[in-house]
Structure 1
Amino acid sequence: MSEENIGRRKEKCENCTKQCNKKQRDEDISSLPEEDVANGEVPASSHLLKQQVLLSACLSCEGCVSEEESLKISQQNLEEVARVLGLNKKCDVSKHQVLVVSVCPQSLPFFAVKYGLDIPEATRKLCGFLKSLGVQYVFDTTLAAGFSILESQRDFVQRYSRRHHDSQALPMFTSSCPGWIRYAERVLGSLVIPHICTARSPQQIMGCLVKDYFAKQQKLSPDKLYHIMVAPCFDKKLEAVREEFYNSLLESRDVDCVLTSGEVFHMMEQMKVSLADLDSVPLDHVLSGVGDPALVRHQGRGSEGFLEHIFKYAASELFSLDVEEITYKTLRNRDFQEVCLERDGEVLLQFASVYGFRNIQTLVHRMRKGHVPYQLVEVLSCPGGCVSGRGQAQGETGGRVDKALVQQMEEAYSSLPVRLPDTNPGLHILYQDWLEGQDSTHANTLLHTQYQQSPSQTRTHTKPPHIQW
């Protein structure tokens, strides 16, 4: 890439937030006629609901999101959900699509705080609301996250074993955050991509569970299911439209539509939903008969805790050490921390959690200089982790993060009991009945993916532009 083009991209990315804010003010978005909310119809999105995909306030300029992607993302909104629900009411039953909603565990604290309820009761109310609209099944994604964690653990141990003859094996970067993945593919290229864990994110594994396993259990073709994800961040919309998650033969995506927690809540406000009038309905379970009635979370502060799970697993598998508690050492700030495994004064493992793009830039700068001592880095684009996702943590005005809300959500999230994926019988059953074993070709196809350097990034050793956030 020429110096002129690098300079242009740098200027574009550095001004991305400003330009996108200006675009939101200047654009004259013609709103569709509102549905009749009195009849319990899903309303068309108001101006408040037509929020831009900010991609962590960094990647939403036209240099990073193509026109085709913009079109696909624009279809992930409440109007599209209303359209599918409307068609189900009008067309013949044989042409109906079964609506399935999967809710990220990190979205549940948002509804709990907004409702003034504990997470289990808030979840039941949310489930009642979604089913009142015409949704047939509501799942949470804990099972899918369990698959992602287990596969990430195995990927790390395999990389560690080949570290001496494969220069790209370590450090390993986690792959569950689509904002981070987008940045790696579009800007960092070959510097980082070979180091990214191949395990799919919980969202996309949930897509496979719904469109493959659950569809077969229901004796339905995947295109007969319309799969909606409720997530805490806008970036998940872009992840859902990636080409590798689309079945061209069946014209079906693993995840058809992503709605942020905030979008769902604004819809409820617009429909003037009363909590007292909502039924408390329990979540459904993908694997019938094995579902745990209690909501659980995985280890980690405001996320799925990939670092903690992989750290404990690696300590046991590689060094026969049982780690009960992990002690974090804060480096630059709360969002840049590290953990070490030591034995007899020797550092065996050194991991880091790096949240937010300013910290990511520091990490990348050190990596270019060869000063990264870590074997694994858990990377998330949102400061504070997934609970702080901009699809639910923004204040009512100005788009700034509501710190008081985030603190309340973190406290609510930490109240959920922790359950290790290894102890979940449902995962072991699905590995055998659905995936034909943990090491099978089927498991590798459905639980893993590959990340590619952007076509425009053909250079291999040129330093990417120095972008400041």
Structure 2
Amino acid sequence: MSAILSADDLNDFISPGVACIKPIETLPVQQPQEDANAYEVTTEDKVAASLPPPPAQISLTDCLACSGCVTSAEAVLVSLQSHTEVLNTLDAHPSIHEPWLSQNGLNGITNGNTRISNGLSNGSNGNHAAPEGMLFVASVSPQTRASLAATFAVSESQAGNMISQLLSGPMGLKAGGAHGSSFTWVIDTNVVRDACLVSAADEVLSTLSPSTTTSPPSSNGGAIDTPPKKPILTSACPGWICYAEKTHPYVLPHLSRLKSPQALTGTLLKSVLSLRYNIPPSRIWHLAIMPCFDKKLEASRSELTSTAWLPSQPLSSPIRDVDCVITARELLHLASTRGIPFASLPLTPLPLSTRIPFPDPKLDAFLFPRARRGAQAPVAGSSGGYLHHILRTYQTQHPGSVLRAERGRNADVVEYTLTAAGGSGDVVVRMARYYGFRNIQNLVRRLKPPKASRLPGSRGAVRRPAGGQEAKEYAYVEVMACPGGCTNGGGQVRAGEVEEVRAEAGMVEEGGGIGGKGPVEQKEWLGRVDEAYFSASSSDGEEEDGDSDTAMGGADDGLDVVDGVSRGYVHGILQHWAELTGVSVRDLVHTSYREVESDVGKKKKSDVERVATLASSLGGGW
């Protein structure tokens, strides 16, 4: 999705295009006649024709249901998730405060319905209804922290502390607003990503295992209850998913069924908090701070709502697992709108004495480890390291195997081959990385099913896309829409914006500025963001209690550990979560995909044409 989808840029309005999924009836504006009688009785039609048409309100949910592109600021006014929505929500609802923690949702009192003064009141206060209280939680991606770290010349860890100070600290949002509302927890999605990495490796190993029986094809190629086909394609990038669902539905059977770290964090937070505190999901408001605008589309998906984990409690309307998504640039707008100098926020973490424990001890230790796990190696890439973790898992199961990487047609295409030990050259597995839509188009073209030849005398011969067999030899492909990976997301601070952001913050150019806005300067700037991303570690002044095993939950007893991630520990956390909520691990961790069909932009048949088609199909004449 283009960066023009920042809410700040959508300030113009031109009539919707003919392919808009929500067109408005455009009536000609009539000029008033000079001799018109002011006391003449008129009709509603005449009044409507004399008024300018209202803007077409199109939400991101509508964009997901439309096969044509309606996400253009030049055509429609799109209703977006933005920093303005964050501030409006904080001002409309007081934070739910600590007294309800002692109840723990286990004393028979349903929080959200009691008349108490902690933001949960639904009753009246004098002659005015008390505002509904909300439990505010946030999650932050490592790519966002890296972008802000490069911008303000601090470490990735310090940038994360600044974000926490803004969202939860005394100098941040808590110091202003109608109610002084702030976020109770700020989650690092790196932690939940470990669960995604382990689950991704499990999915690939299980799907490609010789003992796995191939299930018959489903009418819905991306159904949650069907395993993906080889090659398995990453599903963590919503821009890529949207593209596949709308333009190439034949790749849906290949998509991984796993939720992204953003989606999985939302499911974890809302399912556990609503259960343990007896708070309706609608009273838990989850903000995600992500590197690209496409994450707003992901949050709007109907599959990522409370219906996935509350099947026995149907709601009048499903509650989204992620209520709002903003990017690094929008986070800075949020701070400046409240008059908070982001660059002046403390670089240190919030005091441990102010931290409120998560309502489950095991999940608290998982979400808030005492020590951060070391940074990923640059070879893992800037998009979470799915491919790298799966390859390392295969290497763990094949001791002595050798991994060879070969660059493709450009730096965003890399092929990996894992060969068995002993110099036999036997291939254990082949995988690849495809970043950027130009490369993605080549990939999906190779996966396109062969078509029967229409040439006379072909006798059933088929035409295969060039390179199709080569693409199908891959076991797994890490697919990301942005060239260079997620650190280059559309919502990140760009090279041409750095000087302006630093000037607004009153900073002196300490780390050296970027002199221009061209592709060369942007590439140099992306290198700095990547450096901040890969240099993330636990040695940036944060307090550490215990050894590195504590970062994995204190479990290293012979468990299968891959790149510092304990697979056994993660499996135990997921199983504990499933038992806590009464929902299977599959339903909590997986999701589904579907082909998006629409008549938008297509010529519609007239009634005469439809009747003629029906008559001919029934054998009748016309």
- Pairing partner for 2:334 from 264, 267, 271: 267
Deviation sequence 1:30-78 (CA, Å, 0-9, x none): xxxxxxxxxxxxxxxxxxxxxx999xxx9999814589xx999724112
**Gaps in structure 1 of 5+ consecutive residues:** 1-15, 30-51, 458-469
Query: Which residue of 2 is the match for residue 339 of structure 1?
Result: 416
Cα offset, 1:321, TM superposition: 3.1
Provide closer, same or farther for how the CA distance between residues 327 and 254 of structure 1 changes in structure 2, counting only shifts above 3 A.
Answer: same
1:161 aligns with 2:206: no
Provide closer, same or farther for how the CA distance between residues 152 and 53 of structure 1 changes in structure 2, counting only shifts above 3 A.
Answer: farther
Query: Which residue of 2 is the match for residue 194 of structure 1?
Result: 253
Distance 2:184 2:192 in 1: 19
Is the contact between residue 146 and residue 421 of structure 1 (CA under 8 Å) also seen in structure 2?
Answer: no
Distance 2:592 2:214 in 1: 21
Is the contact between residue 156 and residue 532 of structure 2 (CA under 8 Å) also seen in structure 1?
Answer: yes
1:383 aligns with 2:483: yes
- Pairing partner for 1:445 from 587, 611, 620: 587
Is the contact between residue 165 and residue 345 of structure 2 (CA under 8 Å) also seen in structure 1?
Answer: no
Distance 1:164 1:184 in 2: 26
1:27 aligns with 2:12: yes
Residue 390 of structure 1 aligns to a residue whose secondary structure is coil
Provide closer, same or farther for how the CA distance between residues 96 and 73 of structure 1 changes in structure 2, counting only shifts above 3 A.
Answer: farther
Distance 1:405 1:198 in 2: 34
Cα offset, 1:316, TM superposition: 3.8
Greater mean deviation of Cα atoms: 390-399 or 238-247: 390-399
Query: Which residue of 1 is the match for residue 383 of structure 2?
Result: 303
- Pairing partner for 1:122 from 132, 146, 159: 159
Distance 1:18 1:119 in 2: 23
Distance 1:206 1:18 in 2: 25
Provide closer, same or farther for how the CA distance between residues 73 and 105 of structure 1 changes in structure 2, counting only shifts above 3 A.
Answer: farther
Query: Which residue of 2 is the match for residue 405 of structure 1?
Result: 525
1:80 aligns with 2:85: yes
Is the contact between residue 64 and residue 186 of structure 1 (CA under 8 Å) also seen in structure 2?
Answer: no
Distance 1:73 1:431 in 2: 37
- 5 Å matches for 1:6-405? 27-28=12-13, 63-65=68-70, 74-89=79-94, 93-94=119-120, 95-131=132-168, 132-133=172-173, 134-161=182-209, 169-190=229-250, 192-247=251-306, 249=315, 251-270=318-337, 271-273=339-341, 275-278=343-346, 280-282=348-350, 287-290=363-366, 291-296=368-373, 297-298=375-376, 300-317=380-397, 320-321=398-399, 326-343=403-420, 344-368=424-448, 369=465, 370-371=468-469, 372=471, 373-396=473-496, 402-405=522-525
Provide closer, same or farther for how the CA distance between residues 111 and 294 of structure 1 changes in structure 2, counting only shifts above 3 A.
Answer: farther
Cα offset, 1:159, TM superposition: 1.7
Distance 1:430 1:128 in 2: 28
Q: Give the aligned residue type for 1:172.
A: I
Distance 1:18 1:175 in 2: 21
Deviation sequence 1:262-296 (CA, Å, 0-9, x none): 11023334535153354733497853245323444
Provide closer, same or farther for how the CA distance between residues 361 and 426 of structure 1 changes in structure 2, counting only shifts above 3 A.
Answer: same
**Gaps in structure 2 of 5+ consecutive residues:** 15-57, 97-116, 121-131, 174-181, 218-227, 308-314, 449-464, 498-515, 539-561, 600-622
Cα offset, 1:136, TM superposition: 1.8
**Structure possessing the higher relative contact order (Cα contacts under 8 Å, 6 or more residues apart):** 1
Provide closer, same or farther for how the CA distance between residues 18 and 265 of structure 1 changes in structure 2, counting only shifts above 3 A.
Answer: closer
Provide closer, same or farther for how the CA distance between residues 85 and 307 of structure 1 changes in structure 2, counting only shifts above 3 A.
Answer: same
Distance 1:230 1:272 in 2: 18
Q: Which has the larger radius of gyration?
A: 2
Residue 253 of structure 1 aligns to a residue whose secondary structure is coil
TM-score (norm 2): 0.58
Provide closer, same or farther for how the CA distance between residues 322 and 150 of structure 1 changes in structure 2, counting only shifts above 3 A.
Answer: farther
Greater mean deviation of Cα atoms: 347-356 or 85-94: 85-94
Distance 1:242 1:181 in 2: 11
Greater mean deviation of Cα atoms: 355-364 or 91-100: 91-100
Distance 2:292 2:487 in 1: 9
Q: Work out the number of aligned pairs and report it.
A: 407
Provide closer, same or farther for how the CA distance between residues 400 and 101 of structure 1 changes in structure 2, counting only shifts above 3 A.
Answer: farther
Distance 2:12 2:188 in 1: 36
Q: Give the aligned residue type for 2:413.
A: F
Is the contact between residue 162 and residue 345 of structure 2 (CA under 8 Å) also seen in structure 1?
Answer: no
Query: Which residue of 2 is the match for residue 433 of structure 1?
Result: 576
Cα offset, 1:341, TM superposition: 0.7
Distance 2:269 2:411 in 1: 36
Q: Which runs of 4+ in 1 moved over 6 A?
A: 16-21, 58-62, 70-73, 397-401
Is the contact between residue 144 and residue 209 of structure 1 (CA under 8 Å) also seen in structure 2?
Answer: no
Distance 2:440 2:342 in 1: 42
Distance 1:151 1:106 in 2: 21
Distance 2:537 2:5 in 1: 40
Residue 228 of structure 1 aligns to a residue whose secondary structure is strand
Provide closer, same or farther for how the CA distance between residues 72 and 140 of structure 1 changes in structure 2, counting only shifts above 3 A.
Answer: farther
Residue 187 of structure 2 aligns to a residue whose secondary structure is strand
Cα offset, 1:185, TM superposition: 0.6
Residue 193 of structure 1 aligns to a residue whose secondary structure is helix
Distance 1:146 1:136 in 2: 23
